[in-house]
Amino acid sequence: MWHKKDKKIQGETLLITVNDQIQLDIIQSLLSSYDIPIYIRDDLSGGFIRILMGSSYFDADIYVSEKDYETARDVLYGTQKPIDEN
């Protein structure tokens, strides 16, 4: 059986899988405050539902570029200093 996590996105690294829109919005906002762009890959037909309804009940994978991965991981798990202290 094929799983989407088996497919690598060139130049991107999987950061985390979120379960709902609120988690996605929080992580997207947090990473954007550090100027880290994200790429979202929805599970099943979640992308279509997100476009149609504005959110999705399906899981979504959040990818970041390979060069931003360590910083994004540190920001997400609380080991990164705030921007003004760097």
CB 37 within 8 A of CB 12: no
Q: To which residue do tokens 């550090």 refer?
A: 34
pLDDT digits (tens, 9 = 90+) for 28-65: 999 999 999 998 887 655 455 555 556 556 678 899 99
Q: Can you list the domains of the chain with their CATH numbers? A: 11-76 (3.30.70.790)
Q: Is 61 helix (H, G, I), strand (E, B) or coil?
A: strand
Identify the pLDDT of residue 43.
67
Tokens matching residue 44: 């099943």
**Angle at CA of residue 78, ends 75 and 84, nearest 5°:** 65
What is the average pLDDT score of the chain?
A: 76
